[in-house]
Amino acid sequence: MVLFSKLEIEKPSELIFGSAKHPLNYGLGLNVGKGEVIPEVKFFPRVFSDKDPIGFKTEVQTITRDILDRAVELGIPSLQIETELTFMETKNPRLAAEIASLQKWLMEKYFDEHGIKLGFRVTVADIRDFREGLRTTANYNLMMETFDAVSSNGADVLSIESEGGKDVFNHSIIRQDIEGIVFSILLASLDMGFIWKDIVNVARRNGCIAGGDTACAIANTAMKLAGGVKSMSLPHTLAAIVRAMSAARSLVAYEQGATGPGKDCGYENVILKAITGFPMSMEGKSSACAHSSLIGNIASACCDLWSNEQVENLRLFGGSAPQVFLEILYYDCKLMNRAIMLGKALELRDMLVLSDKFDDPQALVLSPDVAIDVANAIVSEYGDYYRRVKSACWKIVEILESSSSLRLSLPETRFLSHVKNIIDSLPDDGETFREQMCKTFTGKVPTFQEKDYWP
Amino acid sequence: MSEVSLLARLKDAIVNLDFDGSKHLAQEALAKGIPPNEIITKAISSAMEEVGRKFEASEYFLSELIVAGEIGKEISQMLQPYMKDAEIKKIGKVVIGTVKGDLHDIGKNIFGMMLEAAGFEVIDLGNDVPAEAFVEAVKNHEPDIVGMSALLTVTMVEMENVIKELKKAGLREKVKVIIGGAPITEEYAKRIGADGYGKDAVVGVDICKAWIGKK
């Protein structure tokens, strides 16, 4: 197990797009984090794989070919394609393997014929049923079987959006229950410690890369609930706090041996890049096809792969939606790469940062200077899952409170004071916290079982 | 402490989202012999109105509205053993679920909690719910309203299927149907034959209350 006790990237000026301290080389000649930003495109087929598996495979094949054709038309030199398996495909390892194999065959063909450098990420769905338990269940084994199937059939990078702690988080977030949220992130960390050992083993066995995990089920749920600038569904400061705390959770994959590139929807990846030095995929304005956010520009400031999150395979005037979004991503990347070549990367990064930074607390967290402060707060408590979540929370609350440029509404500042009081009252040691929280949530959240996390 | 000031303190505790303080004050009110109905109308309902007003004025978040609703619900449950059957009647019954193929249920959960806070009995079928399960639930529970949610454009089509199945089973005219979720629009609701579209949980609950009021 790797313990990150200090930052791999300590200076905010070095936390920048296209450049990682530990770049990666994989797939069909792809170099990630080595001086250029590469588009990573992801799609969502219209055919349901459980209703029509043959139609589904045909559609994935068509989409992959469409993407590669557009890449050739535009002269894209390097590209990553991500296939995110749904529940249906993950529950069918044979189908998942066939899809991966088919896509990789096409990629090899385009690599041979056109010289385009290609990487292939496969994200497996977390199909575990919380009611049955999270470990050593049939669904867990099936999920690992699918990891094995795709990694032995062409996947270069393995990822997941693991869902440990999600039931407690869902219960807590809509009640603004800070203790419950901290507990859910502690649970998520413990769960990741378990599953990532197995994912890393599968990846090593099949000669592919263990990419990373995202706090999609936690921090992106908070982001989605927080909504737009005028939405009063959830404090935006809470969504920002959850993001910062989630970095302590997503770090576990790298401690267990993942090496990046981190997966796109983990906006906490900017904090993780500072801690680990590994390249990261990010998504922002070009993922508006999948969901709205208030962090469209700032999210690209430190990316190594630039993603569209996911787009449905619809027909648009400009081609299929995956083709169109690849093109949008490519032009974003071209701009960043030209800035790198001209020695203007830092200026461009700062413009991207400043265009969003003070408009919303969720954007502020992603600013390189703030990300490094949060990263330092996390590594200062390395090795202790509970204390580092708490430490990240303290740090981001302090930053949000002291920012003179971030204009918070009265309800937001009232909420921040409330969070401070709660965090102040939390016990110092994880064991006491565990006892208190297990007592609180056992029975209250029907699917929560202590033994899933402390077997 | 007088009855009036005790109920005022209870109302304030709920408005300030003080869970423990509210429960303690409600117990004190019961111990002083204040009738449960009076505790509900003069403290809980009045507090909920105040919290609702604060939400409308953008002083409170929706999540705070939910917390206040949970406090109100818990105190009401605490009072139930001291109330006559006629006094604890729910205002209506709603069957809710996230449609087949869709696992995103947090919006539906918020809707359910707010319905309960508003006095509805809620039967939550969970997520990934097939049309047959909605039909079965309508047969078994005889609700006033069926609520469906979906987050994905590929799963929202399942809502139409549920409505068709309700028609086939001869149950469509017995219930109102409300739908919601990120990709849903008023136009879509009309197109598939739903009776209402809740653009968010607050609007959805208002629609349900209006339907029940019209009955």
Asked, for residue A37, whether it belongs to a domain, the answer is yes
A34-62 mean pLDDT:
92
Inspect the interface and report whether the beta carbons of A174 and B60 lie closer than 8 Å.
no
pLDDT at A206 over 50: yes
Give residue A413's pLDDT band: very low, low, confident or very high (50, 70, 90). Answer: very high
Inspect the interface and report whether the beta carbons of A411 and B113 lie closer than 8 Å.
no
**Cα A79 from Cα A82, distance rounded (Å):** 10
Burial B13-22 (b: 16+ CB within 10 A, else e): bbbebebebb
Below-70 pLDDT ranges, chain B: 1, 85-88, 214-215
Residue A83, beta-bridge partner list: A122
Say what the pLDDT of residue B215 is: 38
The amino acid sitting at A193 is: G
| pLDDT tens-place string over residues A109-130 | 999 999 999 999 999 999 999 8
ipTM of the complex: 0.88
Inspect the interface and report whether the beta carbons of A170 and B109 lie closer than 8 Å.
yes
Do the beta carbons of residue A96 and residue A146 sit within 8 Å? Answer: yes
Question: Which of A:18-77 have CB within 8 Å of B?
Answer: 44, 46, 48
Give residue A31's pLDDT band: very low, low, confident or very high (50, 70, 90). Answer: very high
Say what the pLDDT of residue B86 is: 58
CB pairs under 8 A between A and B: 50
Inspect the interface and report whether the beta carbons of B153 and A312 lie closer than 8 Å.
yes
**CATH number of B3-88, picked from 2.160.20.80, 1.20.58.100, 1.10.1240.10, 3.40.109.10:** 1.10.1240.10
Say what the pLDDT of residue A325 is: 98
Inspect the interface and report whether the beta carbons of A176 and B62 lie closer than 8 Å.
no
The amino acid sitting at A270 is: V
Q: How many domains does chain A have?
A: 1
Say what the pLDDT of residue B168 is: 95
Do the beta carbons of residue B106 and residue B149 sit within 8 Å? Answer: no
- Residue A368, domain extent: 12-452
Cβ of A221 under 8 Å from any chain B Cβ?
yes
The amino acid sitting at B207 is: I
In A, minimum Cα distance to B102 occurs at A87
Asked, for residue A426, whether it belongs to a domain, the answer is yes
Residue A252 exposed, middle or buried by CB count within 10 Å (0-12, 13-18, 19+): buried
Residue with tokens 């995956």: A322
Inspect the interface and report whether the beta carbons of A232 and B55 lie closer than 8 Å.
yes
Q: What percent of chain A has pLDDT over 90?
A: 94
User: Which residues in chain B have Cβ-Cβ distances shorter than 8 Å to A46?
Assistant: 154
Cβ of A288 under 8 Å from any chain B Cβ?
no
Say what the pLDDT of residue A122 is: 98
Q: Which of B15, B19, B60, B63 to mutate to test the interface with A (most CBs of A within 10 A)?
A: B63
* A44, A175, A409 ranked by CB distance to B66: nearest: A175
pLDDT at A71 over 60: yes
Contacts of A429 by beta carbon, 8 Å cutoff, 6+ apart: A386
Cα atoms found within 13 Å of the Cα of residue A383, Cβ hemisphere only? 4
Give residue A339's pLDDT band: very low, low, confident or very high (50, 70, 90). Answer: very high
User: Which residues in chain B have Cβ-Cβ distances shorter than 8 Å to A411?
Assistant: 58-61
In A, minimum Cα distance to B153 occurs at A312
Residue with tokens 């109100």: B72
Say what the pLDDT of residue B165 is: 96
User: What are the Cα distances from residue A270, in Å, to A16, A181, A295, A396, B161?
Assistant: 9, 21, 13, 14, 43
Do the beta carbons of residue A8 and residue A277 sit within 8 Å? Answer: yes
Inspect the interface and report whether the beta carbons of A174 and B61 lie closer than 8 Å.
no
Structure tokens given for A34: 């080595």
User: Which residues in chain B have Cβ-Cβ distances shorter than 8 Å to A48?
Assistant: 101, 154
**Cα B37 from Cα B9, distance rounded (Å):** 17
User: Which residues in chain A have Cβ-Cβ distances shorter than 8 Å to B109?
Assistant: 170, 174
Say what the pLDDT of residue B109 is: 83
User: Which residues in chain B have Cβ-Cβ distances shorter than 8 Å to A176?
Assistant: 61, 63-64, 67
Say what the pLDDT of residue B101 is: 80
Residue with tokens 């080389």: A25
**Cα B198 from Cα A199, distance rounded (Å):** 41
CATH classification at residue A67:
3.20.20.70
Inspect the interface and report whether the beta carbons of B66 and A87 lie closer than 8 Å.
no
| Higher-scoring residue by pLDDT: B50, A48 | B50
| pLDDT tens-place string over residues A265-281 | 999 999 999 999 999 99
Q: Tell me which residue of A62, A197, A211, A66 sits closest to A151, measured CA to CA.
A: A211
Inspect the interface and report whether the beta carbons of B154 and A232 lie closer than 8 Å.
no
Inspect the interface and report whether the beta carbons of B62 and A48 lie closer than 8 Å.
no
Give residue A227's pLDDT band: very low, low, confident or very high (50, 70, 90). Answer: very high
| pLDDT tens-place string over residues B45-55 | 889 888 888 98
Fold of B92-214: Rossmann fold (3.40.50)
Structure tokens given for A306: 């630039």
Q: What percent of chain A has pLDDT over 70?
A: 100
Question: Which of B:36-65 have CB within 8 Å of A?
Answer: 55, 58-64
Give residue A315's pLDDT band: very low, low, confident or very high (50, 70, 90). Answer: very high
Cβ of A314 under 8 Å from any chain B Cβ?
no
Q: Which of A185-189, A238-242, B80-84 has the lowest mean pLDDT?
A: B80-84
| pLDDT tens-place string over residues A374-399 | 999 999 999 999 999 999 999 999 99
Q: Where are the domains of chain B?
A: 3-88, 92-214
Q: Which of A59, A166, A175, A440 to mutate to test the interface with B (most CBs of B within 10 A)?
A: A175
Q: Which of B16, B58, B61, B110 to mutate to test the interface with A (most CBs of A within 10 A)?
A: B61
Tell me the pairing of strands A157-160 and A305-307: unpaired
